[in-house]
A and B are shown apart, each in its own frame.
Chain A
Amino acid sequence: MELVFELSKEGRGCDLLPSCDVPETAISEKFARVSAPRLPQLSETDISRHYTKLASRTFGVNKGFYPLGSCTMKYNPRINEEVAGLPGFTGIHPLQPEHTVQGCLEVMAKAEEYLCEITGMDAMTFQPAAGAHGEFTGVMLIKAYHEKRGDIKRTKIIVPDSAHGTNPATAVMAGYKVINVPSDPEGGIDIEKLKAVVDDQVAGLMLTNPNTVGIFDKNILEITRIIKDAGGLCYYDGANLNAVMGNVRPGDMGFDVVHLNLHKTFSTPHGGGGPGSGAVGCKKELEEFLPKPCMGKCGEGYGMCCDRENSIGKVKAFYGNFLVVVKALAYILTLGKEGIPEASKMAVLNANYMMQQLSDTYEAAYKGRCMHEFVLTLEKLHHETGVSALDIAKGLLDEGIHPPTMYFPLIVHEALMVEPTETEGKDTIDNVVAIFKKVYNEAMSNPEAMHEKPVKTVIRRPDEVRAAREPVLRYNFD
C-alpha cells in the first residue's frame, strides 16, 4: 500500500492553530534551517483513512489469540486505558510543585506498595521504561552495592545459557564480564556447573524462575544460596512472573533485586513495541542505590527528595513512564489479593491444558508439568519432512492466529514457545489446538506447500536477507 508521503499533495493540510496574536519574531539567518523537511501534506480524511488501513494490517491481542511465549500477551482491559487518559494525569507537567501532583505521587506510592508485596521486595523505582532498561537498572544497583563496600574484584555476572539475550547484553552494559552456565537436562541450572564457576569475583546472578523453558527450577533456594555464600547478589528477571504472582515471591526465593514488565504481567499494553515499564524492586540493603529522586509518603501527603547520595543516578528523565504505572495500578486494584494469584494459576492451567491437548501431535521439549508456557520442539518433524518451526509458524498465520515465539530459547532446536495466558477461555484454546493439529497434518501430508506459507496474509514472506544486505531505511522521495 502507499506510504503517507505518496499520498501527499502540495497545498493540502489541516487547519489546526489560530493565527499568531503577538508581533512575529523571525529566527536569524545564522540559525535558520536551509532545507525544509519534506513532511507529508494531507487532509484529515487522508490521515484518518491511511492509519485505519495500517491498523487493519496490524495484529493485536485484542484482535485474536497471541500465544507469544515469554511475552505474556494477555488481554489489555479498556478501563486501564480510560483512567490513564484522565486529564488529571495526562495534563500534569513533571516539574510541577509537589503539592500540585499529590495524585500522581499517590499512584506511584500505591503501585510501589502493592508491587513490593507481590514481589517480596522493600522498595521500588518506576524510572526504567522497559524490561531491558529495568535489567540495566537492577544490575547497576548490584554494581553500586559492591562498589560502596570497596569490593572491586567482582567483575563477573553469571547468566544461564537459556537466558534471554538481554541478560548478557545488560551485564556488559553495566561493565561486567558474562559467565554462561549450562542448563541441566530438565532445563534448570546445572548446580555442579554453577558451583564450578562461582568464586569471589562473582558480582551476581541473573535468573528468571520459572525459567525460559517454562519450568520452575526447584533448586532455586540452593542456587541463590550458592551465589550469596560467594558474596554475590541475585537478580530476578521478572519476564515469567505471570506464572507465579501472588503464589511465589522472588524475595522469598532469595533474590535481592527484581524487574517487572508492567506491560506484560500487569496487562498494560505493548503498543507495538512500547511504551512499557520495567519497574525495579529491591531489598532494603539496595534501596540507597535506587535512581533519584526518591518518591513516597512524606508527612500527611507524598513527596520527592533528591538526597539519595549513593544513588546510581538517573536512568531516564523525570520518573519513568508514568501513565503505564497508572494502568498497572488500575489492574492491580481490579484483581486484588484474590485475582492476582488466580490469574497466575489460570495462566498455568491454560498452558498445561494446551500442552496436554497437543501432546498426541506435537513433541514437548520438556516433559511433565510446565508453568505458564511450554516449549515444543519440531526437530523430528524438520528432520523427517523438512518443515521447520518457521514453516509451522507461517502456516498458523494463514489460520488467523499469531504464532508462538520461534527459535527461543536457543538451547532447544526448532523451538516454538507457547504462552496462552489466563485471558483465553477453554473454547479458544480448544479451537487453537485443532488449528495447530491441522497445520501439523498439512506439514505431514504436503510438506512442500508449507514453505510457501502464508498465502492469505496481506504480504507473503518478506525477503529479510535483501533488507539487511541492501538497507532501505527511509523513503527517498524520488
Chain B
Amino acid sequence: MGSYIPSTQKEREEMLNAIGLDNINQLYDGIPSQVLLHRELNIPSGKSEMEVRAEMSAMAAKNTVFPHIFRGAGAYNHYIPSIVKYVSAKEEFVTAYTPYQAEISQGVLQSIFEYQTEMCELTGMDVSNASVYDGATAAAEAVGMCRERKRQVALVSATTNPDVIEVIKTYCHGANATVEIVPEKDGVTDMEALKSMLCETSACFYVQQPNYYGIFEDCEALGEITHASGAKYIMGCNPIALGIMKSPGECGADVATAEGQPLGMSLAFGGPYLGIMACTTAMMRKMPGRIVGETVDADGQRCYVLTLQAREQHIRREKASSNICSNQALCALTATVYLAAMGPDGLKNVASQCISKAHYAAKEIASVKGFELKYGGEFFNEFVTTCPICPDKLMGELEKKGILGGLPFEKDGEKLILWCVTEMNSKADIDMLVNTIKEVAE
C-alpha cells in the first residue's frame, strides 16, 4: 500500500498520547455509531507506485493516439512548444492554492495579470478576468452578465457549438431565464430572423466566430442589429483565429468569450481546458470570476492582488452573480506562456497556416466525387462537406491509416462531415487523407 503519511508509528503514538488517547479510532468517538462505516471499503487494496504506474499505463494503452487528426468541433490539435510544458509543470505553480496571500503569491498573481493583458490584446476588449472553467461555461456566464430585470431572454445562434448551447441552456434554466435559438441560413446566422426575434425583453445575442461549421459570421452587422434593440452582444471566439481575424472589440462586442484550449493545452479527452472571458469597462463589475489588479505595497513597490472582490460569493454570498471562486490558473499560465513563445508573428503564422491548409484540404476533398463543400461562406480551419458514402465506413478506413477523420453528423437527413485542419497537418498528411477518401469513395 502506498501512503503519503510521514509520521512513523512511534510518532503517531506520541501524538495520540499528547491528546490523551491510546487508539487512533477513538478520534471518531464523537461520531454516532450509526453513521460510522463498520467495514472495509469495497475498493482494491493499496498498491506500490510501480504497480500504479503499470495499471494506469495499461489503461492509457487502450486508447488510440491518432498521429493525424482532422477533427476539431471544439477541441483543436495544435503544436505545443516545449517551453510551455516545462513552465506549466513547475512545482510551485502546480501545487499552489488560489493566491490569497499576495506577499507569497506574486508569481501566480503576476502571471494572471500578464494573462489578462494578453487576453485583452487578443480580444480587443478592455478587461479580462483570470479565466473560468472552459469556453462553454464562459459563454454561459457571459449570458448571465447580460441579464437585467426586464431583459431575461438570451438569443443564441443555431450555428454555435452544440455543447455550448447545451451549457447556456443549463445555466439559464437554473436562473429561470429563457434561451431562444436564432435559426441559421446557408451555414450562418439568419440575420432577418435575428432582427425579428430581438425585442425589449432580449438580454443578449451570442454568436460564435468562426461558427461551428468553421464559417466566418458577419459579426459587425450582427453586433449592429443586436445593439439596435438595446441587447448586449457576446462573441465566442477561437483564440488562434484571433491572430488574423477581426477581434470582438473591433466588431463591437460587449463580452468576448473563447475556449482557450488551442493556446497550448493538449486535447486530453476534453479537459482541463480554459474559459476566456473579457468585456468592456462598462460591464466590468458584472463580470464573474477572479480578477487580478496592479497596486503598490507598503514600500511603494509595484505588485499584484486579487481585486474587485466585492462582486464575489465570499463577500456577497446569495447576492453574488455567480458562485465561481476559482479559475483555471495553471491553464491560464499555459496560455500565457504559449502566447509569449509564439509572439505576435508566431500566432499570426499559426493562424495563417491553419487557414491555408484548411483551404488546401477543402479543395482537395471537394475534388472527390460526391464530397462537396456544404456552405459557400469564407472559413477558417474547419469546413463541412457532404459525404456520399457511409461515414462510419470512411472513418474506419481512415483509422487504419492512423487518421482521425472529420466529425460525421447529420442535418435534415443529410450526411455531412465537419473537417478540421491545423498547422499540425502537413501537405503529405492531407494528400494521404484525400487519397484514402478517394480509395473508399470510388
Contacts and interface: CB of A to CB of B under 8 A. Distances in A.
A321 B104 CA distance: 28
Contacts of A321: 271-272
A428 B11 CA distance: 12
A376 interface: no
Given A3-B113, A330-B56, A353-B15, A44 B245 contact: no
A449 to B, nearest CB: 13
Contacts of B353: 17, 20
Interface in B257-293: 259, 266-273, 284, 290-293
A345 B24 CA distance: 7
Contacts of B293: 467-468, 471-473
A473 B127 contact: yes
A461 B298 contact: yes
Q: Which 9 A-B pairs have the closest CB atoms?
A: A318-B270, A88-B60, A336-B46, A58-B107, A60-B95, A425-B6, A271-B330, A94-B270, A275-B272
Contact of A58 (B47, B64, B105, B127): B105
Interface string B88-132: 011111111111111111111011011011101110101110110
Interface string B141-168: 0000000000000000000010110110
B382 interface: no
Interface stretch (B180-188, B193-201, B226-234, B307-315): B307-315
A157 B19 CA distance: 39
B49 to A, nearest CB: 5
Interface stretch (B337-345, B367-375, B432-440): B337-345
A273 B98 contact: yes
Contacts of B56: 83, 86, 326, 329-330, 333
A368 to B, nearest CB: 8
A235 interface: no
A313 interface: yes
B242 interface: yes
B107 to A, nearest CB: 3
A272 B16 contact: no
B323 A79 contact: no
Given A57-B110, A62-B91, A324 B133 contact: no
How many interface residues does chain B have, given as a range? 35 or more
A206 to B, nearest CB: 11
Interface in B24-79: 24-25, 27-32, 34-37, 40-47, 49, 51-53, 55-66, 69, 71, 73-75, 77, 79
Given A37-B122, A423-B5, A459-B301, A397 B31 contact: no
Interface string A449-464: 0001010011111111
Given A59-B101, A79-B49, A83-B52, A104 B269 contact: yes
Contact of A42 (B53, B134, B340, B348): B340
B52 A175 contact: no
22 contacts: A16-B79, A17-B423, A42-B343, A58-B108, A59-B92, A68-B97, A81-B94, A103-B60, A117-B42, A140-B173, A221-B32, A271-B330, A272-B93, A273-B328, A292-B166, A317-B161, A322-B268, A356-B18, A408-B314, A454-B103, A462-B295, A464-B295
B270 A468 contact: no
Contacts of B94: 60, 62, 76, 81, 269, 271-272
Interface string B168-181: 01110111100000
A13 B90 contact: no
A337 B46 contact: yes
Interface string A421-458: 01111111000000000000000000000001010011
B340 A166 contact: no
A118 to B, nearest CB: 6
A106 interface: yes
B270 A35 contact: no
B399 interface: yes
A250 B343 CA distance: 50
Contacts of A271: 93-94, 96, 328-331
Nearest to A61: B95
Given A247-B36, A272-B96, A313 B3 contact: no
B323 A459 contact: no
B417 interface: no
A143 to B, nearest CB: 7
Interface string A200-215: 0000000000000000
Given A133-B137, A349-B15, A17 B79 contact: yes
Interface in A91-113: 91-97, 100-104, 106-107, 113
Contacts of A104: 59, 63, 269
Given A44-B341, A316-B136, A462-B305, 4 more contacts: A16-B342, A51-B337, A114-B43, A175-B175
B237 to A, nearest CB: 11
Contacts of B47: 333-334, 336
Given A93-B404, A318-B269, A58 B14 contact: no
Contacts of A62: 91-92, 94-95
A13 B81 CA distance: 12
B96 to A, nearest CB: 4
B322 to A, nearest CB: 7
A298 interface: no
A468 B310 contact: yes
Given A17-B350, A169-B322, A44 B5 contact: no
Contacts of B34: 221, 252
B347 interface: yes
B245 A397 contact: no
A447 to B, nearest CB: 17
Contact of B108 (A40, A272, A315): A272
Contacts of B389: none
B393 interface: no
Contacts of B296: 462-463, 466
A461 B297 contact: yes
A330 B52 contact: yes
Contacts of B170: 140, 291, 312-315
A168 B341 CA distance: 42
Contact of A339 (B3, B28, B126): B3
Contacts of B345: 13, 41
A125 interface: no
Given A89-B60, A317-B167, A338 B342 contact: no
Contacts of B7: 346, 350, 425-426
Contacts of B89: 81
Interface string B404-435: 10010000000000000001001100100000
A274 B327 CA distance: 5
A369 B52 contact: no
Given A16-B342, A247-B36, A270 B137 contact: no
Given A21-B426, A462-B295, A106 B329 contact: no
A246 interface: yes
